[in-house]
Amino acid sequence: MSQYRICPDSGLYFDKSAESLMKVNAVAGAVALLVAGVLALLLGLTRWPSIHLLGAADFYMTLTAHGLNALIYWMIFFEIAILYFASSTLLKCRLAGPRWAWLGFALMIIGAVTTNVAIFQGNSSVMMTSYVPMQAAPHFYLGLILFAVGALIGCFVFLGTLVIAKQENTYVGSVPLVTFGAITACIIAVFTIASGAIILIPTFLWSIGLIGHIDSLMYRVIWWGMGHSSQQINVAAHVSVWYAVAAIAFGAKPMSEKVSRGAFLLYILFLQLACAHHILVDPGVSSSWKIFNTSYAMYLAVLASMIHGLTVPGSMEVAQRKKGYTNGLFEWLRKAPWGNPVFSGVFLSIIIFGFIGGITGVIMGTEQINLIIHNTYYVTGHFHSTVAVGTTLTFMALTFFLIPVLFRRQMIMPGLAKWQPYLFAGGMTILILFMLGAGTLGVPRRHWDMGFADAASMGIKFEFPGMAETMMALVGIGAVIAVLGGAIYLLITVGSLLFGKKLEPSAGLLQSFGVPLAASCYTSERPEPAKGPAADLEEHGSAGFEAPGTFVLAMLLLVSFVVYYFINWKYLASVWPLS
Q: Does 357 bind ligand HEM (CB under 6 A)?
A: no
Q: Of the candidates 388, 417, 436, 497, which one interacts with ligand HEM according to CB under 6 A?
A: 388
128 binding partner (options ligand HEM, Cu ion, none; Cβ < 5 to 8 Å by kind): ligand HEM
Span from 166-174, 278-286, 479-487, 532-540 in contact with ligand HEM (CB under 6 A): 479-487
Which is nearer to ligand HEM, 98 or 427 (by Cβ)? 427
Crossing angle for the helix pair 257-270 and 298-322, to the nearest 10 degrees: 160
Task: Compute the distance between CA of residue 435 and CA of residue 525 in angstroms, rounded to an integer.
Answer: 55
Which is nearer to ligand HEM, 106 or 487 (by Cβ)? 487
409 binding partner (options ligand HEM, Cu ion, none; Cβ < 5 to 8 Å by kind): none
Q: Does 492 bind ligand HEM (CB under 6 A)?
A: no
- Nearest distance in Å: CB 498, ligand HEM: 23
Which is nearer to Cu ion, 187 or 259 (by Cβ)? 187
Crossing angle for the helix pair 177-207 and 216-250, to the nearest 10 degrees: 160
Report in angstroms the alpha-carbon separations of 98 from 18, 21, 184, 249: 7, 8, 22, 31
- Nearest distance in Å: CB 354, Cu ion: 17
Closest CA to 445 of 501, 493, 391, 383: 383
Q: Of the candidates 7, 22, 40, 248, which one interacts with ligand HEM according to CB under 6 A?
A: 40
Q: Of the candidates 243, 401, 445, 497, which one interacts with ligand HEM according to CB under 6 A?
A: 445
Task: Compute the distance between CA of residue 218 and CA of residue 90 in angstroms, rounded to an integer.
Answer: 41
Q: Does 483 bind ligand HEM (CB under 6 A)?
A: yes
Closest CA to 358 of 235, 474, 272, 261: 235
Q: Of the candidates 11, 29, 37, 150, which one interacts with ligand HEM according to CB under 6 A?
A: 37
Which is nearer to Cu ion, 23 or 382 (by Cβ)? 382
- Measured in degrees and rounded to the nearest 5, phi and psi for residue 303 equal -55, -45
Binding residues among 95-154 for ligand HEM as defined by CB under 6 A: 127-129
Span from 37-45, 213-221, 503-511, 563-571 in contact with ligand HEM (CB under 6 A): 37-45
Q: Of the candidates 52, 374, 418, 446, which one interacts with ligand HEM according to CB under 6 A?
A: 446
Q: Is 122 left (phi over 0), alpha (psi -120 to 50) or beta?
A: left
Q: Which helix (H) or strand (E) holds 292?
A: helix 287-292
**E strand spans, 262-419:** none
Crossing angle for the helix pair 16-47 and 75-84, to the nearest 10 degrees: 160
- Nearest distance in Å: CB 30, ligand HEM: 12
Which is nearer to Cu ion, 228 or 408 (by Cβ)? 228
Query: Rounded to 5, what percent of the chain is helix, strand, coil?
Result: 70, 0, 25
User: Residue 240 burial by CB count (10 A; 0-12/13-18/19+): exposed, middle or buried?
Assistant: buried
Q: Which helix (H) or strand (E) holds 15?
A: strand 13-15
Please report, as a single letter, which amino acid is at residue 578: L
Span from 82-90, 111-119, 397-405, 475-483 in contact with ligand HEM (CB under 6 A): 475-483
- The site for ligand HEM, by CB under 6 A, has a size of 26
Task: Compute the distance between CA of residue 64 and CA of residue 273 in angstroms, rounded to an integer.
Answer: 26
43 binding partner (options ligand HEM, Cu ion, none; Cβ < 5 to 8 Å by kind): ligand HEM
482 binding partner (options ligand HEM, Cu ion, none; Cβ < 5 to 8 Å by kind): ligand HEM
Residue 6, strand partner residues: 13
Give the Cβ contact number of residue 95 at 10 Å: 25
DSSP character for 94? P
- Nearest distance in Å: CB 399, ligand HEM: 14
Which is nearer to Cu ion, 32 or 274 (by Cβ)? 274
- Nearest distance in Å: CB 231, Cu ion: 6
228 binding partner (options Cu ion, ligand HEM, none; Cβ < 5 to 8 Å by kind): Cu ion
Q: Which helix (H) or strand (E) holds 5?
A: strand 4-6
Site string for ligand HEM, 48-87 (x = CB under 6 A): ---------------x--xx--xx---x------------
- Nearest distance in Å: CB 398, ligand HEM: 15
Q: Which helix (H) or strand (E) holds 4?
A: strand 4-6
- Nearest distance in Å: CB 27, ligand HEM: 17
Q: Of the candidates 11, 29, 44, 439, which one interacts with ligand HEM according to CB under 6 A?
A: 44
Task: Compute the distance between CA of residue 217 and CA of residue 466 in angstroms, rounded to an integer.
Answer: 36
Contacts of 325 (CB under 8 A, 6+ apart): 331, 332, 335
- Measured in degrees and rounded to the nearest 5, phi and psi for residue 283 equal -70, 170
Binding residues among 188-247 for Cu ion as defined by CB under 5 A: 228
Q: Does 537 bind ligand HEM (CB under 6 A)?
A: no
| Length reported for the chain | 579
Closest CA to 120 of 44, 68, 193, 46: 68
Which is nearer to ligand HEM, 469 or 538 (by Cβ)? 469
Q: Does 387 bind ligand HEM (CB under 6 A)?
A: yes
Residues that bind Cu ion (CB under 5 A): 228
Give me the residues that bind ligand HEM (CB under 6 A), please: 37, 40, 43-44, 47, 63, 66-67, 70-71, 75, 127-129, 380, 384, 387-388, 392, 431, 445-446, 479, 482-483, 486
